Structure 1
Amino acid sequence: MGLTSNKVLALTVCTAVLLFAGTVWLWPRLARRTWRAVSGRVALLLAVQLTLFASAGLAANQAFGFYASWADLLGQETDEGVVVDHTPGGPEDDPLRVLDTGSVPGAGSPGARAGGRIHEVEILGRTTHIATRAYVYLPPEYFQARYRTRTFPAAVVLTGYPGTAKALVDKLDYPHTARRLAKEGRMQPMILVMLRPTVAPPRDTECVDIPGGPQTESFFAKDLPDAVGGHYRVGEKPGSWGIIGDSTGGYCALKLAMHHPWVYAAGAGLSAYYRAPIDRTTGDLFHGDKTLRNRADLFWYLKNMPAPDTSLLVSSSKVGESNYKDTLKFIEGAKATNRTRISSIILESGGHNFNTWRREIPATLEWISGRLSDR
């Protein structure tokens, strides 16, 4: 049974309840001062505490999608992917392969023309040799006859770190929300490409081209749009792509839109930070390269580089978010450029969690839809 299995959670909760009941029942028998009685009390208390802790941890992981598997939790991620060269033009030469097809959660109708589709795909970076999996949401209009010659705008949607791409589908409800908003006429139909920024697990690369390491920024700036655009009907002109993310994904979204405005016409960072951290999960990202480190600092970039011609959206909360002051500072820095367009969502209160982002996602999708072209 997998880490995110409901059966695992139910079994752990039941075990905790039984151990608690057993402790209450056996406690009078263990009230003596013999070493066996003391050892029994200690063992029962530890067992109850451990199962309660495990139940809370599994429930939190179910709600927030921190880890996808036991290997992911233990830092032993095995699904890293190995890229091999194939003969050009062969059946495996496509940088995007569809692995599975499913309906949109909450869509009601199982038909593609009414409910849309979600593809689980594997993307192989032709220039960066990065392999990762993603989920692609195709709106109902993609399958309807009157749109058969139309191209669609696309938005990359990124999780935080470590995050799971599936959480974007069934926890944050991006496909269901996009379908609902389009049906209500509040946004145009869009393709969503949902994945985590951790494309070289378990390392947190912060969407940086690491010297001698994973070229993550180049993957998102070139390989990903090329692979998706070569497989689906995505607009080819500048302005067809946007990018959204939360937490680490939010930092990546803002940075990619600023560094590559000709690729991403708009970038939205929900609860984003503005400088790449250096810690045990990232390792040495810059290898002493001051220029690379400065470029990864979005405050430095706004102040010292030509203002990017792109649209940015940032979000925070007056109470509950640690990035509030930095977000106000970033807004002022973007406004001072007189070229970079900046918008914001500031809540009165809200933590760094799924509940807060679910409150911001509808407005974010409307905002990014209004800044992308379908041609």
Structure 2
Amino acid sequence: MLPQPRPAARRPLAAVALLALAVPLTACGSAGTGTGAGDARAAISANQGSGSATPSAPASSSAPPKPTKVLMPTGPATQFSKARDTSAGPILMTTLAGPKSGVSGKVWVWLPPQYNDPKYANTGFPVLTLYAGGQSAGYNTWTDNQLPIQEIDQQMVTQGKAHPFIMIMPVQNLDSNEAKALECADIPGQPKIGTWMSQDIPDFVRANFRTLKGRDGWAVMGASTGAFCSAKLALQHPDVFKAAVPIDGYWNPDSPLWKGHEQERLANSPDQLIGTGTADVRMLATAGGANGYETKLVKNWIAKAKAPTTVEYYEQPGGKHLTSDFKKMIPTTLEWLTANTAGPEAD
């Protein structure tokens, strides 16, 4: 079993405001050549016996089966190509044709080094899906050295400060034209990118990798436009995601494609969803301290949160709406995610 990283302490961060602004949670969720990912996948099989008209008495020594925590890959296995190498291992890439959405788009994957270590062959890992800023059509900035979250994660794992997350990095749009922004939603008459993100991608992950049963090991994070997506997806799908980190986000859908569909637009608005009190999720919302407009926007949004949703606030001292400042927040966000999601488990 992979040793559990020690939980991230909820200690005050220097020169940082970290405020709980909602009621605490109540108790009551491209095809290419194959690479190393294939070595890590395993098929599962189950034998079902035929029923009997007269059930036999159970053996007195038999015990109920032990509940399992790990979900082994369900298949079918995907073929991956290598996008690039990092000091923490390769980033893989494929094109996912979503059977539920009908959407086809690129997805990048990074597996922590522990995943392919034979010692952890029966260990399930938490999953972090990362969304980029901008249009993110054909690219995802979490896959390049502008946001080296993979290397930082491994450094923090060795320090006992972070989980070794499986990282999933999809595209967010199918066209670079901002007038065709899909805003991570099923806009009427447009490709169902919302279904692709919330159903096809999690199904793809479970088909290929050892994960944890239930939602406790699933989180989303994104910056700018990606913050909008991560907040929206978590609030709409608390059965899939337990936690979200929207970094310097906005909350009001404004794509021209919503014209004539105001009711659907509002149903996909984080500004509306945050106050419904229907999503049992945890979030950390950030803002750059050098941007007064942004800090006000984020704080006003957090103030609308209703239980069981909880939102904490992190203000980056002197931070601006820049990728270079998003990079500086990676350790803080990984530490928070580790404290708010389940870590690796073995049966």
- Given the two structures, how large is their TM-score scaled by the length of structure 2? 0.72
Identify the match of residue 307 of structure 2 among 338, 349, 370.
Answer: 338
Q: Distance in 2 between matches of 1:214 and 1:140?
A: 35
Aligned partner letter, 1:172: L
Give % identity: 22
4+ long deviations beyond 6 Å: none
| Greater RCO, 1 or 2 (C-alpha within 8 Å, sep 6+) | 2
Aligned partner letter, 2:156: L
Q: Distance in 1 between matches of 2:323 and 2:202?
A: 27
Whether 2:113 is the aligned partner of 1:135: answer no
Q: How big is the shift at 1:247? A: 0.6
Q: How big is the shift at 1:95? A: 8.0
Aligned partner letter, 2:339: G
Partner of 1:308: 279
Secondary structure in structure 1 of the residue aligned to 2:235: helix
Pairs within 5 Å for 1:177-256? 177-202=152-177, 203-256=180-233
Partner of 1:320: 291
Q: How big is the shift at 1:94? A: 4.8
Which segments of 5 or more consecutive residues in structure 2 lack a partner in the other structure?
Answer: 1-29, 31-74
Contact 1:124 1:130 in 2 (8 A): yes
Q: Distance in 2 between matches of 1:166 and 1:348?
A: 23
Contact 1:261 1:309 in 2 (8 A): yes
Partner of 1:42: none
Q: Distance in 2 between matches of 1:369 and 1:321?
A: 29
Q: Distance in 2 between matches of 1:135 and 1:297?
A: 27
Q: Distance in 1 between matches of 2:326 and 2:286?
A: 9
**Structure 2 CA distance for partners of 1:311 and 1:121, relative to 1, 3 Å:** same
Partner of 1:367: 336
Q: How big is the shift at 1:222? A: 0.3
Q: Which has the higher helix share?
A: 1
Q: Distance in 1 between matches of 2:104 and 2:292?
A: 33
Partner of 1:168: 143
Identify the match of residue 275 of structure 1 among 252, 260, 263.
Answer: 252
Identify the match of residue 97 of structure 1 among 61, 68, 79.
Answer: 79
Contact 1:161 1:196 in 2 (8 A): no
Q: Distance in 1 between matches of 2:114 and 2:284?
A: 27
Which segments of 5 or more consecutive residues in structure 1 lack a partner in the other structure?
Answer: 1-78, 80-92, 108-114
Task: Specify the structure having the higher radius of gyration (Cα).
Answer: 1
Number of aligned residue pairs: 267
Secondary structure in structure 2 of the residue aligned to 1:322: helix
